[in-house]
Amino acid sequence: MKITVVGGGYVGLVSGACFAHLGHEVLIVEKLKEKLELLKEGKSPIYEPGLDELLEEGIKGKRLHFTDSLKEAADFSEVLFICVGTPSLADGSPDLSQVDQVVRDVARRMNSYKVFVEKSTVPVNTHKRIEGVVRRYLKDKSLEFDVVSNPEFLKEGAAVDDFLNPDRIVVGVSSQRAKEIMEEIYRPLVEKGAPLFITDPASAEIIKHAANAFLATKISFINMVSDLCEATGANVDAVADGLGFDKRIGRAFLNAGIGWGGSCFPKDLKAFVKIAEEFAVDFSLLKEVERINERRIELLMKKLKDALWTLRSKRIALWGLSFKPNTDDIREAPSIKVVQRLLKEGATVSAYDPKATDNFRRLFVEGEDLRYAKDKYEALKDAEALLILTEWQEFKEADLTKVKELMEVPIIVDGRNIYDPDEVKAMGFEYYSIGR
């Protein structure tokens, strides 16, 4: 089937490349020139395991095309997946102007039946807004169209795998015609065993926000438990394991640490609270989940300061800038606040990340007080403490003997609990982690 994907970012690019891999013919529309140029050369503007291979396969097989023309996009296929950004506005509600613009532009140009698929994360009842916009801008009012909610649940860092092996595919739809089209698109995954959950559009929209809000709640919950563990001498890893055996709870998202970040949880939580407020539903539970998360950075800084006494003119090595491993995404990453705090307090920072350094450089220019190291060991030279902010595999596998030799003072403040405390202490490190 022919599919148009509007927005060539983390979701659009992965979805488009995966749809092409499943045998569909896909046109990805991307408005940013520099991204589009890269894509046309078959290069991915983002780091995501497995994506380069799928891009190459799709382009070579002539099933994956790129354009910046929405006119071309509107003519290309019956189905348009909207995968543009929905960032937070100052009041916490999502900025839906990118979605609105795409819908208007396509509605003005359409001359046959279309299915508008919301893949961007949007508040409940956005499908009604989209319907209204299409009706308003449609030139030929007799044309038919459908709006479908098909939220995306991929995790950055494992996006391709998540897309091709989803826990479930959620489709919120109100017409038989659109339902059959969505079934046809996802047939290759359903035949491999992926559950296709068909529901109404409003429920599908809420499922996405509720899923992210629930996962963020799980992390904030274990972080509070970890504070109690730390105060009482219990070990949060053991507690999480013990909880995780319970099938009703599960072990995933019970890793204590410096909290969640990224392009989704922070904004989706705010958006969910906001939409609840609009409907006079008090979801203050989620405000507390957010507050707990914000306090995690303070906790980390306190541990570092307790260890070093003051931070002024201290050399701090920092491992991990991306908000989680296997991605170059630094949106709302804890590293941003940590680096701001370290620089403000007069420390000098030597930072390393396997993939996210280039993105971080755009936020923090390299200078006397902040250097970007080429590898994890270079970052450690003469450091007076190592701060671990992201649990990349290569940090877990680091040669700790070498780490100790390179540092002036062997202090590790581990915000992600990647080492066994007994082992690193036995090697002569002063080691601080979370809830253990």
Ligand X SMILES: NC(=O)c1ccc[n+]([C@@H]2O[C@H](COP(=O)([O-])OP(=O)(O)OC[C@H]3O[C@@H](n4cnc5c(N)ncnc54)[C@H](O)[C@@H]3O)[C@@H](O)[C@H]2O)c1
Catalytic site positions: 264
Q: How far apart are CA 222 and CA 247, in angstroms?
A: 16
CA angle, 154 then 352 then 230, to 5°: 75
CA angle, 188 then 17 then 25, to 5°: 65
Task: Provide the token pair at 277.
Answer: 């407020």
Taking each helix axis from N to C terminus, what angle separates 126-137 and 201-232, rounded to the nearest 10 degrees?
140
Cβ proximity to ligand X, 8 vs 259, nearer residue:
8
Q: How far apart are CA 311 and CA 346, in angstroms?
A: 6
Residue nearest to ligand X (CB): 9
At 1, the amino acid letter reads: M
Is 12 near ligand X (CB under 6 A)?
yes
Enumerate residues 243-272 that contact ligand X by CB under 6 A: 263-264
Is 4 near ligand X (CB under 6 A)?
no
Task: Quote the DSSP letter at residue 254.
Answer: -
Is 205 near ligand X (CB under 6 A)?
no
Q: How far is the CB of 176 from ligand X (least distance, A)?
A: 27
Q: Which stretch binds ligand X (CB under 6 A): 84-92, 133-141, 214-222, 350-358?
A: 84-92
Task: Quote the DSSP letter at residue 68.
Answer: S
Among 3, 5, 9, 389, binds ligand X (CB under 6 A): 9
Q: Coil, strand or helix: which one is 29? A: strand
Identify the H or E element spanning 206.
Answer: helix 201-232
255-276 in b/e form (b: 16+ CB < 10 A) is: bbbbbbbbbbbbbbbbbbbbbb
Q: How far is the CB of 98 from ligand X (least distance, A)?
A: 4
Enumerate residues 360-419 that contact ligand X by CB under 6 A: none
Is 333 near ligand X (CB under 6 A)?
no
Q: Which stretch binds ligand X (CB under 6 A): 82-90, 130-138, 241-249, 274-282?
A: 82-90
Mark residues 272-301: x for contact with ligand X by CB under 6 A, - for none.
------------------------------
Q: How far is the CB of 1 from ligand X (least distance, A)?
A: 21
Q: How far is the CB of 141 from ligand X (least distance, A)?
A: 24
Among 17, 133, 154, 411, binds ligand X (CB under 6 A): 154
Q: Among all chains, which residue has been given the structure tokens 């659009």?
A: 12
Q: How many CB atoms lie within 10 A of CB 287?
A: 14
Q: How far is the CB of 406 from ligand X (least distance, A)?
A: 35
- By CB under 6 A, the count of residues binding ligand X is 26
Q: How far is the CB of 242 from ligand X (least distance, A)?
A: 30
Q: How far is the CB of 67 from ligand X (least distance, A)?
A: 9
Q: Which stretch binds ligand X (CB under 6 A): 4-12, 180-188, 391-399, 405-413?
A: 4-12
Mark residues 32-61: x for contact with ligand X by CB under 6 A, - for none.
x--x--------------------------
Q: How many CB atoms lie within 10 A of CB 165?
A: 12
Among 30, 146, 205, 414, binds ligand X (CB under 6 A): 30
Among 78, 156, 230, 328, binds ligand X (CB under 6 A): 156
Asked whether 317 and 383 are in contact (CB, 8 A), the reply is yes
Q: Which own/partner contact pairs does 68-71 have at CB distance under 8 Å and 24+ positions apart?
A: 68/29, 68/30, 68/31, 68/33, 68/36, 69/29, 70/6, 70/29, 70/102, 70/105, 70/106, 70/109, 71/109
Q: How many CB atoms lie within 10 A of CB 180?
A: 11
**How far is C-alpha 60 from the chain's CA centre?**
29
Among 20, 29, 229, 356, binds ligand X (CB under 6 A): 29
Cβ proximity to ligand X, 72 vs 369, nearer residue:
72
Task: Provide the token pair at 316.
Answer: 């701090």
Is 101 near ligand X (CB under 6 A)?
yes
Cβ proximity to ligand X, 6 vs 38, nearer residue:
6
Q: How far is the CB of 13 from ligand X (least distance, A)?
A: 7
Interface residues with ligand X (CB under 6 A) are 6-12, 29-32, 35, 83-86, 98, 101-102, 120-121, 152, 154, 156, 263-264
